[in-house]
Homo-oligomer: A and B are copies of this chain.
Amino acid sequence: MTFSLFILGSSSALPTSNRFPTAHVLNIQERFFLIDCGEGAQMQMRRMHFKLGRLNHIFISHLHGDHVFGLFGLLSSLGLMGREQDLHLYGPSQLESVILQHIKMFDIHLPYKVIFYPLECGKSNVIFEDKVVTVRHFPLSHRIPTCGYLFREKERIRNFKPGVIEKYRIPIIKRKGIQLGDDFVTENGETVSNEQLTLPGPLPRSYAFCSDTQYDRSIIPFVKGVDLLYHEATFSNADVNRACETKHSTARQAALIAREASVKKLVIGHFSARYKDLNLLLEEAREIFPATFLAEDGERFDVPLVRAKETERLRG
Protein backbone atom coordinates (compact mmCIF):
# COMPACT_ATOMS: atom_id res chain seq x y z
CA MET A 1 0.00 0.00 0.00
CA THR A 2 2.76 2.38 -1.08
CA PHE A 3 2.30 6.13 -1.20
CA SER A 4 5.72 7.56 -2.01
CA LEU A 5 7.04 10.67 -3.66
CA PHE A 6 10.39 10.58 -5.48
CA ILE A 7 12.26 13.75 -6.37
CA LEU A 8 13.96 13.53 -9.76
CA GLY A 9 14.91 17.21 -9.91
CA SER A 10 14.93 20.17 -7.57
CA SER A 11 16.51 23.07 -9.44
CA SER A 12 14.76 26.11 -10.80
CA ALA A 13 15.34 27.11 -14.42
CA LEU A 14 19.13 26.91 -14.13
CA PRO A 15 20.26 23.39 -13.20
CA THR A 16 23.40 22.86 -11.12
CA SER A 17 25.91 20.03 -10.88
CA ASN A 18 23.67 18.18 -8.42
CA ARG A 19 20.21 19.60 -9.07
CA PHE A 20 18.23 18.68 -12.19
CA PRO A 21 15.11 20.66 -13.20
CA THR A 22 11.70 19.82 -11.75
CA ALA A 23 10.28 16.31 -12.07
CA HIS A 24 8.54 14.13 -9.47
CA VAL A 25 7.34 10.56 -9.53
CA LEU A 26 4.45 9.66 -7.26
CA ASN A 27 3.78 6.01 -6.57
CA ILE A 28 0.30 5.39 -5.21
CA GLN A 29 -0.24 1.66 -4.71
CA GLU A 30 1.92 0.84 -7.75
CA ARG A 31 0.34 3.45 -9.96
CA PHE A 32 3.21 5.66 -11.14
CA PHE A 33 2.51 9.30 -11.94
CA LEU A 34 5.13 11.57 -13.45
CA ILE A 35 4.61 15.19 -12.48
CA ASP A 36 6.51 17.72 -14.60
CA CYS A 37 9.32 16.53 -16.79
CA GLY A 38 12.40 18.74 -16.72
CA GLU A 39 15.45 17.94 -18.81
CA GLY A 40 17.06 14.66 -17.76
CA ALA A 41 13.96 13.24 -16.03
CA GLN A 42 14.28 9.96 -17.95
CA MET A 43 17.92 9.57 -16.89
CA GLN A 44 17.02 10.27 -13.26
CA MET A 45 14.24 7.68 -13.46
CA ARG A 46 16.72 5.11 -14.68
CA ARG A 47 19.16 5.97 -11.94
CA MET A 48 16.41 5.53 -9.39
CA HIS A 49 15.48 2.18 -10.94
CA PHE A 50 12.00 3.09 -12.13
CA LYS A 51 10.71 1.11 -15.04
CA LEU A 52 9.77 3.74 -17.64
CA GLY A 53 7.21 1.38 -19.09
CA ARG A 54 5.13 1.60 -15.91
CA LEU A 55 4.35 5.27 -16.49
CA ASN A 56 0.87 5.75 -17.84
CA HIS A 57 0.04 9.28 -16.71
CA ILE A 58 2.13 12.42 -17.04
CA PHE A 59 1.08 15.78 -15.61
CA ILE A 60 2.72 19.01 -16.78
CA SER A 61 2.20 22.14 -14.69
CA HIS A 62 3.15 24.80 -17.23
CA LEU A 63 5.08 25.42 -20.40
CA HIS A 64 8.35 26.76 -19.08
CA GLY A 65 11.25 24.73 -20.42
CA ASP A 66 12.57 23.60 -17.04
CA HIS A 67 9.31 21.70 -16.50
CA VAL A 68 8.93 20.24 -20.01
CA PHE A 69 12.26 19.81 -21.82
CA GLY A 70 12.64 16.21 -20.65
CA LEU A 71 9.33 15.21 -22.21
CA PHE A 72 10.43 14.97 -25.83
CA GLY A 73 13.25 12.58 -25.02
CA LEU A 74 11.04 10.54 -22.71
CA LEU A 75 8.25 10.14 -25.29
CA SER A 76 10.84 9.12 -27.85
CA SER A 77 12.48 6.62 -25.47
CA LEU A 78 9.12 5.02 -24.65
CA GLY A 79 8.65 4.55 -28.38
CA LEU A 80 12.09 2.99 -28.81
CA MET A 81 11.27 0.64 -25.96
CA GLY A 82 8.33 -0.63 -28.02
CA ARG A 83 5.53 0.80 -25.92
CA GLU A 84 2.10 0.08 -27.36
CA GLN A 85 -0.11 1.13 -24.46
CA ASP A 86 -1.77 4.56 -24.53
CA LEU A 87 -0.01 7.30 -22.60
CA HIS A 88 -2.15 9.93 -20.89
CA LEU A 89 -0.76 13.45 -20.88
CA TYR A 90 -2.32 16.27 -18.88
CA GLY A 91 -1.32 19.90 -19.06
CA PRO A 92 -2.15 23.43 -20.17
CA SER A 93 -4.04 23.36 -23.45
CA GLN A 94 -1.07 24.58 -25.54
CA LEU A 95 0.92 21.48 -24.61
CA GLU A 96 -0.72 19.39 -27.29
CA SER A 97 0.44 21.56 -30.19
CA VAL A 98 3.93 21.83 -28.69
CA ILE A 99 4.25 18.05 -28.59
CA LEU A 100 2.75 17.55 -32.03
CA GLN A 101 5.09 20.12 -33.58
CA HIS A 102 8.00 18.48 -31.88
CA ILE A 103 7.13 15.00 -33.08
CA LYS A 104 6.88 16.39 -36.61
CA MET A 105 10.12 18.40 -36.43
CA PHE A 106 12.15 15.44 -35.25
CA ASP A 107 10.42 12.89 -37.42
CA ILE A 108 9.53 10.83 -34.34
CA HIS A 109 7.31 7.79 -34.95
CA LEU A 110 5.59 6.67 -31.78
CA PRO A 111 4.23 3.14 -31.78
CA TYR A 112 1.75 4.15 -29.07
CA LYS A 113 -0.95 6.78 -28.73
CA VAL A 114 -0.56 9.92 -26.65
CA ILE A 115 -3.93 11.03 -25.30
CA PHE A 116 -3.96 14.70 -24.42
CA TYR A 117 -6.10 16.23 -21.73
CA PRO A 118 -5.98 19.98 -22.31
CA LEU A 119 -6.54 21.79 -19.01
CA GLU A 120 -7.82 25.27 -18.35
CA CYS A 121 -5.38 26.32 -15.69
CA GLY A 122 -7.72 28.90 -14.18
CA LYS A 123 -10.21 26.19 -13.16
CA SER A 124 -10.23 23.14 -10.93
CA ASN A 125 -11.63 19.77 -11.91
CA VAL A 126 -11.13 16.08 -11.32
CA ILE A 127 -9.10 15.03 -14.36
CA PHE A 128 -8.41 11.39 -13.55
CA GLU A 129 -9.88 8.73 -11.34
CA ASP A 130 -9.77 5.00 -10.97
CA LYS A 131 -10.69 2.59 -8.15
CA VAL A 132 -7.98 3.92 -5.89
CA VAL A 133 -7.13 7.53 -6.63
CA THR A 134 -8.48 10.81 -7.94
CA VAL A 135 -6.42 13.61 -9.44
CA ARG A 136 -7.61 17.18 -9.49
CA HIS A 137 -5.95 20.21 -11.03
CA PHE A 138 -6.17 23.67 -9.54
CA PRO A 139 -4.86 27.15 -10.42
CA LEU A 140 -1.44 28.39 -9.39
CA SER A 141 -0.32 31.97 -9.78
CA HIS A 142 2.71 32.31 -12.05
CA ARG A 143 3.77 34.34 -15.08
CA ILE A 144 1.97 32.01 -17.50
CA PRO A 145 -1.02 29.67 -16.99
CA THR A 146 0.06 27.07 -14.45
CA CYS A 147 -1.72 24.09 -12.91
CA GLY A 148 -1.21 22.56 -9.50
CA TYR A 149 -2.20 18.92 -9.01
CA LEU A 150 -3.83 17.17 -6.08
CA PHE A 151 -3.58 13.38 -5.78
CA ARG A 152 -5.89 11.78 -3.26
CA GLU A 153 -6.64 8.19 -2.40
CA LYS A 154 -10.33 7.32 -2.36
CA GLU A 155 -12.12 6.64 0.91
CA ARG A 156 -11.55 3.08 1.99
CA ILE A 157 -14.33 0.73 3.14
CA ARG A 158 -14.58 0.15 6.92
CA ASN A 159 -12.95 -2.85 8.58
CA PHE A 160 -14.82 -5.36 10.78
CA LYS A 161 -13.86 -5.38 14.44
CA PRO A 162 -12.28 -8.70 15.45
CA GLY A 163 -14.83 -11.47 16.11
CA VAL A 164 -18.03 -9.61 15.15
CA ILE A 165 -18.72 -11.66 12.01
CA GLU A 166 -18.82 -14.85 14.08
CA LYS A 167 -20.60 -13.24 17.05
CA TYR A 168 -23.53 -11.88 15.01
CA ARG A 169 -23.38 -14.57 12.27
CA ILE A 170 -23.13 -11.97 9.52
CA PRO A 171 -23.73 -13.65 6.13
CA ILE A 172 -21.34 -12.93 3.27
CA ILE A 173 -24.04 -11.16 1.28
CA LYS A 174 -24.42 -8.49 3.98
CA ARG A 175 -20.75 -7.82 4.64
CA LYS A 176 -20.00 -5.39 1.78
CA GLY A 177 -22.97 -3.21 2.79
CA ILE A 178 -21.80 -3.11 6.40
CA GLN A 179 -18.29 -2.16 5.33
CA LEU A 180 -19.89 0.71 3.40
CA GLY A 181 -21.76 1.86 6.58
CA ASP A 182 -24.96 -0.22 6.92
CA ASP A 183 -26.23 -1.36 10.31
CA PHE A 184 -27.01 -5.08 10.67
CA VAL A 185 -30.25 -6.79 11.74
CA THR A 186 -29.63 -10.18 13.38
CA GLU A 187 -31.72 -13.35 12.96
CA ASN A 188 -33.54 -12.29 16.16
CA GLY A 189 -34.50 -8.91 14.70
CA GLU A 190 -32.00 -7.05 16.86
CA THR A 191 -30.33 -4.04 15.14
CA VAL A 192 -26.58 -3.74 15.66
CA SER A 193 -25.25 -0.32 14.78
CA ASN A 194 -22.40 0.01 12.31
CA GLU A 195 -20.18 1.58 15.00
CA GLN A 196 -20.48 -1.62 17.05
CA LEU A 197 -19.37 -3.71 14.07
CA THR A 198 -16.69 -1.75 12.27
CA LEU A 199 -13.71 0.54 12.53
CA PRO A 200 -12.90 3.14 9.91
CA GLY A 201 -10.53 1.95 7.18
CA PRO A 202 -7.12 3.52 6.80
CA LEU A 203 -7.27 7.23 6.04
CA PRO A 204 -6.98 8.21 2.39
CA ARG A 205 -3.61 9.82 1.76
CA SER A 206 -2.96 12.88 -0.37
CA TYR A 207 -0.21 14.80 -2.15
CA ALA A 208 -0.45 18.30 -3.59
CA PHE A 209 2.04 19.67 -6.11
CA CYS A 210 2.49 23.44 -6.32
CA SER A 211 5.19 24.12 -8.86
CA ASP A 212 6.05 27.69 -9.79
CA THR A 213 3.71 30.00 -8.02
CA GLN A 214 3.94 33.24 -6.20
CA TYR A 215 2.66 33.35 -2.62
CA ASP A 216 -1.08 33.09 -3.12
CA ARG A 217 -3.49 32.27 -0.32
CA SER A 218 -6.14 31.20 -2.81
CA ILE A 219 -4.19 27.94 -3.14
CA ILE A 220 -4.99 27.03 0.46
CA PRO A 221 -8.48 25.55 0.00
CA PHE A 222 -7.15 23.13 -2.60
CA VAL A 223 -4.30 21.80 -0.48
CA LYS A 224 -6.02 21.92 2.91
CA GLY A 225 -4.93 19.11 5.21
CA VAL A 226 -2.93 17.10 2.69
CA ASP A 227 -0.39 14.62 4.01
CA LEU A 228 2.34 15.95 1.78
CA LEU A 229 2.53 19.37 0.19
CA TYR A 230 5.19 20.20 -2.35
CA HIS A 231 5.46 23.97 -2.71
CA GLU A 232 8.16 25.71 -4.67
CA ALA A 233 10.62 27.80 -2.67
CA THR A 234 12.87 29.36 -5.27
CA PHE A 235 14.26 32.08 -3.05
CA SER A 236 15.42 32.91 0.43
CA ASN A 237 13.74 35.65 2.39
CA ALA A 238 16.52 38.09 1.53
CA ASP A 239 15.48 37.80 -2.12
CA VAL A 240 11.76 38.29 -1.55
CA ASN A 241 11.67 41.14 -4.06
CA ARG A 242 13.12 38.91 -6.73
CA ALA A 243 10.43 36.34 -5.83
CA CYS A 244 7.73 38.99 -6.38
CA GLU A 245 9.16 40.14 -9.70
CA THR A 246 9.43 36.62 -11.11
CA LYS A 247 6.21 35.34 -9.49
CA HIS A 248 8.00 32.74 -7.44
CA SER A 249 7.92 32.07 -3.70
CA THR A 250 10.35 32.21 -0.82
CA ALA A 251 10.84 29.28 1.55
CA ARG A 252 9.06 31.30 4.23
CA GLN A 253 6.05 31.90 1.98
CA ALA A 254 5.82 28.18 1.17
CA ALA A 255 5.80 27.50 4.92
CA LEU A 256 3.07 30.08 5.51
CA ILE A 257 0.86 28.27 2.99
CA ALA A 258 1.65 24.91 4.63
CA ARG A 259 0.81 26.24 8.10
CA GLU A 260 -2.40 27.89 7.11
CA ALA A 261 -3.48 24.84 5.11
CA SER A 262 -2.70 22.58 8.11
CA VAL A 263 -0.82 20.10 5.97
CA LYS A 264 1.12 17.29 7.64
CA LYS A 265 4.44 17.68 5.88
CA LEU A 266 5.93 20.30 3.57
CA VAL A 267 8.51 19.56 0.89
CA ILE A 268 10.21 22.57 -0.69
CA GLY A 269 12.08 22.66 -4.00
CA HIS A 270 12.77 24.53 -7.26
CA PHE A 271 15.78 26.13 -5.66
CA SER A 272 17.59 28.98 -7.37
CA ALA A 273 21.14 28.08 -8.43
CA ARG A 274 22.39 30.99 -6.32
CA TYR A 275 22.04 28.92 -3.12
CA LYS A 276 24.86 26.45 -2.72
CA ASP A 277 23.78 25.54 0.81
CA LEU A 278 20.05 24.92 1.11
CA ASN A 279 20.01 24.88 4.89
CA LEU A 280 19.26 28.58 4.92
CA LEU A 281 16.02 27.98 3.02
CA LEU A 282 15.19 25.00 5.21
CA GLU A 283 15.67 27.04 8.38
CA GLU A 284 13.57 29.92 7.11
CA ALA A 285 10.73 27.53 6.34
CA ARG A 286 11.05 25.58 9.60
CA GLU A 287 10.73 28.75 11.64
CA ILE A 288 7.16 28.94 10.35
CA PHE A 289 6.43 25.27 9.71
CA PRO A 290 8.72 22.79 11.48
CA ALA A 291 7.74 19.72 9.41
CA THR A 292 9.51 21.04 6.33
CA PHE A 293 11.95 19.00 4.24
CA LEU A 294 14.18 19.68 1.24
CA ALA A 295 13.17 18.12 -2.10
CA GLU A 296 16.73 17.25 -3.07
CA ASP A 297 17.39 15.08 -6.14
CA GLY A 298 17.05 11.40 -5.28
CA GLU A 299 15.03 12.02 -2.08
CA ARG A 300 12.02 9.87 -1.26
CA PHE A 301 9.07 10.80 0.95
CA ASP A 302 6.79 8.02 2.17
CA VAL A 303 3.31 8.68 3.51
CA PRO A 304 2.54 5.83 5.90
CA LEU A 305 -0.84 4.22 6.07
CA VAL A 306 -2.60 5.37 9.23
CA ARG A 307 -4.61 2.31 10.19
CA ALA A 308 -8.04 2.20 11.74
CA LYS A 309 -6.96 1.98 15.39
CA GLU A 310 -4.65 4.92 15.07
CA THR A 311 -7.41 6.74 13.25
CA GLU A 312 -9.71 6.14 16.20
CA ARG A 313 -7.08 7.38 18.58
CA LEU A 314 -6.37 10.42 16.45
CA ARG A 315 -10.04 11.16 16.14
CA GLY A 316 -10.75 10.30 19.76
Contacts and interface: CB of A to CB of B under 8 A. Distances in A.
Contact of A105 (B15, B40, B101, B106): B101
A80 B13 contact: yes
B17 A64 contact: no
Interface residues of A, number: 34
B80 A73 contact: no
Contacts of A69: 39, 69, 72-73
Total identical chains: 2
Nearest to A105: B98
Contact of A21 (B63, B64, B73, B108): B73
Contacts of A207: none
Contact of A80 (B14, B70, B76): B14
Nearest to A48: B17
A65 B68 CA distance: 15
A190 interface: no
B17 A43 contact: yes
A168 B63 CA distance: 72
A63 B15 CA distance: 24
Contact of A43 (B20, B42, B76, B107): B20
A65 B42 CA distance: 14
A47 B43 CA distance: 15
A93 interface: no
Nearest to A43: B15
Given A15-B46, A43-B40, A108 B65 contact: yes
A72 B65 contact: yes
Contacts of A39: 39-40, 42-43, 69-70, 73
A77 B21 CA distance: 11
Contacts of A105: 63, 98, 101
A66 interface: yes
Given A20-B43, A39-B39, A43-B39, A65 B106 contact: yes
A14 to B, nearest CB: 5
A47 B14 contact: no
Given A65-B106, A105-B98, A17 B72 contact: no
A192 interface: no
Given A15-B46, A66-B73, A101-B105, 10 more contacts: A14-B81, A15-B77, A17-B43, A39-B73, A63-B105, A64-B106, A65-B72, A65-B108, A66-B76, A98-B105
Interface of A: 13-17, 20-21, 39-40, 42-43, 46-47, 49, 63-66, 68-70, 72-73, 76-77, 80-81, 98, 101, 105-108, 144
Q: Which 4 A-B pairs have the closest CB atoms?
A: A17-B46, A40-B40, A39-B73, A69-B73
